[in-house]
Amino acid sequence: MITTNFPERETANGIPCPACGVPHPPADIFCPHCGKAVGGLPYIREEFEGSRRQYERFADAVTHFVSAPSYFGVHLFWVAAWILLNSGAVMAIHRFDPPPSFDLLSLLLSVEAIFLTGFLLVSQNREVDYERKRAELEYENTVQTNRLLGEIHLQLATIANRVERIESDLRIER
């Protein structure tokens, strides 16, 4: 008897898609609604996103925002405006951060860099955890598949032996 260790989550309506929850007949391989593979294996990405703590959600949002091209555009604009206003180019405005040191600008950028590094590290650690868990699942899956293949191989060998015996018995009878 061949048994699998794959967690079956089949209901009366079929196997529910772990991503969107729509039930599918067991013959379905991919969910037509979200494109995910339908099977008993969990979706690590969804599980990870669901178990995020508040600060991790915030760190992910910050990392997402910082990696967008608009972030560089906005920074380029306000840093250039800051330098322009404080270099005396606009006479009507009082210089609040005089050149050449631009102390306040340096301080702001340093503080921003410190916070961003923290957020990026939190986000990156989560990504590493995700990759590790995915690799583990892949390994487990490979081991289970190998075991299953070994069992199928044994069953096939038994069947082949039986067929051979039946054939030789038939030959003897003739």
State which of positions 44-73 bind Zn ion (CB under 5 A).
Answer: none
**Pick 34 or 157: Cβ nearer Zn ion:** 34
Residue 122: helix, strand or coil by DSSP?
helix
Nearest distance from C-beta of residue 64 to Zn ion, angstroms:
24
C-alpha span between 85 and 97 (Å, rounded)? 9
Nearest distance from C-beta of residue 31 to Zn ion, angstroms:
3
**Pick 19 or 83: Cβ nearer Zn ion:** 19
Residue that has been written with the tokens 């995915």 in this structure: 134
**Pick 39 or 123: Cβ nearer Zn ion:** 39
**Pick 36 or 134: Cβ nearer Zn ion:** 36
Interface with Zn ion (CB under 5 A), residue total 6
User: Is residue 68 left, alpha or beta, with left meaning phi > 0 and alpha meaning psi from -120 to 50?
Assistant: beta
C-alpha span between 58 and 61 (Å, rounded)? 5
Task: Answer yes or no whether residue 122 interacts with Zn ion by CB under 5 A.
Answer: no
**Pick 39 or 63: Cβ nearer Zn ion:** 39
Nearest distance from C-beta of residue 25 to Zn ion, angstroms:
14
Binding mask of the shown chain, residues 5 to 44, with x at each position contacting Zn ion by CB under 5 A: ------------x-xx----------x-xx----------
Question: In 10 A of CB 18, how many CB atoms?
Answer: 19
Nearest distance from C-beta of residue 35 to Zn ion, angstroms:
7
What backbone torsions phi and psi does residue 168 show, to the nearest 5 degrees? -65, -35
- Can you say how many angstroms the Cα of residue 174 is from the centroid of all Cα atoms in its chain? 65
C-alpha span between 120 and 66 (Å, rounded)? 9
Question: In 10 A of CB 174, how many CB atoms?
Answer: 4
Chain residues that interact with Zn ion, rule: CB under 5 A: 17, 19-20, 31, 33-34
